């Protein structure tokens, strides 16, 4: 997973390498909305055609928001992993 910090917030997603290894993403589930997750803690799962994988927080942070586009269009993780394919907004 990667994190991009913008001011006091961060955006977390899956690296291009990871999405390529997973294959086509079909569902993203975030189980930690509103919770603080420690570095390397699990904040959800990602379902792909090949497998289901845990999502690990790259730094300790509070999960503020789930990307609404990912809920509707999970394949954004494949097509734009560092842009529109972010998964959660954190603080």
Q: What is the pLDDT of residues 36-74, one digit of tens each?
A: 999 999 999 999 998 999 999 999 999 999 999 998 999
Q: Are strands 9-13 and 61-66 parallel, antiparallel or unpaired?
A: unpaired
Yes or no: say if 74 and 87 are a contact pair by the CB < 8 Å rule. no
pTM, two decimal places: 0.94
- Average pLDDT rounded to a whole number, residues 20-46: 97
| pLDDT value of residue 50 | 83
Rounded distance between C-alpha atoms, residue 61 and residue 14, angstroms: 16
- Average pLDDT rounded to a whole number, residues 5-21: 97
């Amino acid at each position: 997973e990667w994190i991009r910090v913008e001011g006091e917030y961060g955006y977390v997603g899956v690296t291009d390498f990871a999405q390529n290894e997973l294959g086509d993403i079909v569902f993203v589930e975030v189980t930690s909305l509103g919770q603080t997750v420690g570095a390397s803690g699990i904040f959800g799962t990602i379902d792909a055609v090949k497998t289901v994988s845990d999502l690990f927080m790259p730094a300790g942070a509070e999960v503020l928001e789930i990307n609404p586009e990912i809920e509707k269009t999970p394949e954004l993780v494949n097509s734009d992993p560092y842009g529109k394919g972010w998964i959660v907004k954190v603080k």
